Amino acid sequence: MDAKIASPVVDCLQYANWSADVFAQMRAGGVHGVHATIAYHENFRETVANIIAWNRHFERHSDLIFPGRAGSDIERAMREGRTAIFFGLQNPSPIEDDIGLIEVCHALGVRFMQLSYNNQSLLATGCYEGEDPGITRFGRQAIAEMNRVGMVVDMSHSAERSTLEAIELSARPIAITHANPHWWHPALRNKSDTVLKALTRSGGMLGLSLYPHHMKGGSNCTLQSFCAMVAETASRYGVAHLGIGSDLCQDQPDSVVAWMRNGRWSKVTDYGEGSASAAGFPRQPSWFTSNADLGNLRDGLCKVGFSNEEVSDIMGGNWLRFYTQSFGPM
């Protein structure tokens, strides 16, 4: 059987403007699993409303997508020619100040939760803060509860000390679902060698990001440059700990950036990564504009020297293993 069919393709972070077109592109790209952001700064009830909207997508587009709950759902997607959608939170806002909502969110299908999104949260510090006091008292308890129910600790937007402490405190491997090495491109959101060593030595996963602000050369980053970075990352930390977390924000209006970056805490526009003159979403590189383009990444990884088996692991096999080990109760 062709390797493109026999092995899974998983993208461990997207926040597209979900539509029939996007779901069809997932199928065109042979994508079997997508970790979809369902909340940034929403409270619990608002997050439930977002899940209701997703239930409508599942009902209307059942030929293309279905809700993912376990690693076996990726294998089901491979058999059925559909895409399993796994829910994730980019901020702990949906659990408010109630640890019991972690289990409730898990029961509703949430499988990832970031402990912070750029700013200080009740659990941890975001990467834009000037000081990082680390994981809070609530954060320690939340990590233990996430471990218990099978919700992955995600530190993609968190600061250095908080991330290192989360790796140490978590009884289960954590994930950085969408970021790149800081040594390749020094964006605030990219992760240091210290963090990546700690992450991978503990069995954690890094989802390599295709978002232009995270890539050397930005929107003009070439496929060869990105894949050469993947090769160097694999040589430093091991192929088994790498996957894709594209951070694809396809078809989102630029106004969404203000919600992502500002939430409810700011009355002025906080541009975050990039500059005031580029406050909207950056242009995607020509070789990755939608899910249908993921085959380009497979080809690029082959050209920089990865074996077919290694390419299959990076494209989804490693995430399948991680999902299978992480989503059930401890």
Confidence at residue 275, expressed as pLDDT on a 0 to 100 scale: 40
Q: Strand runs (DSSP E) across the chain, as ranges?
A: 10-14, 33-39, 65-67, 83-89, 110-114, 152-154, 175-176, 205-208, 242-244
Confidence at residue 271, expressed as pLDDT on a 0 to 100 scale: 56
Q: Above 50 in pLDDT, residue 277?
A: no
pLDDT digits (tens, 9 = 90+) for 59-71: 999 999 999 999 9
Q: What is the mean pLDDT of residues 30-52?
A: 98
Could you tell me the two tokens for 240? 């088994």
Q: What share of the chain is helix, strand, coil (3-state, %, to 5)?
A: 45, 15, 40
**Cα–Cα distance measured from residue 148 to residue 151, given in angstroms and rounded to the nearest whole number:** 8
**Which of 272, 193, 172, 275 shows the shortest CA–CA distance to 237?**
193
Confidence at residue 124, expressed as pLDDT on a 0 to 100 scale: 98
Alpha helices in the chain (DSSP H): 3-6, 20-28, 44-60, 72-80, 100-107, 137-149, 160-169, 193-201, 223-237, 255-262, 294-303, 308-312, 318-326
Q: Which residue has the tokens 């990546």?
A: 196
Determine how many CB atoms are found less than 10 A away from the CB of residue 283: 12
pLDDT digits (tens, 9 = 90+) for 108-134: 999 999 999 999 999 999 999 999 999
CATH number for the domain whose boundaries are 3-326? 3.20.20.140
Confidence at residue 135, expressed as pLDDT on a 0 to 100 scale: 98
> On the CB side of 307, how many CA atoms lie within 13 Å of its CA?
5
Q: What is the mean pLDDT of residues 316-323?
A: 98
Confidence at residue 255, expressed as pLDDT on a 0 to 100 scale: 83
Q: Which residue has the tokens 């901020």?
A: 91
Which DSSP state fits 248? Answer: B
**Which of 102, 97, 157, 96 shows the shortest CA–CA distance to 124?**
157
Confidence at residue 261, expressed as pLDDT on a 0 to 100 scale: 82
Q: Which residue has the tokens 């006091």?
A: 133
Task: State the average pLDDT for the chain.
Answer: 94
pLDDT digits (tens, 9 = 90+) for 287-319: 999 999 999 999 999 999 999 999 999 999 999
Cα distances from 306 to residues 225, 239, 266, 309, 318, in angstroms, run 15, 9, 45, 8, 15
Q: What is the mean pLDDT of residues 155-182?
A: 98
Q: Above 60 in pLDDT, residue 80?
A: yes
Contacts of residue 87, Cβ cutoff 8 Å, sequence gap at least 6 = 35, 36, 38, 51, 54, 67, 108, 109, 110, 111, 112
Could you tell me the two tokens for 118? 């750029």
Judged by DSSP in three states, 289 sits in coil
Sorted by where each begins, the domain ranges of the chain are: 3-326
Could you tell me the two tokens for 212? 């232009």
Question: Is residue 83 within 8 Å of 32, Cβ to Cβ?
Answer: yes
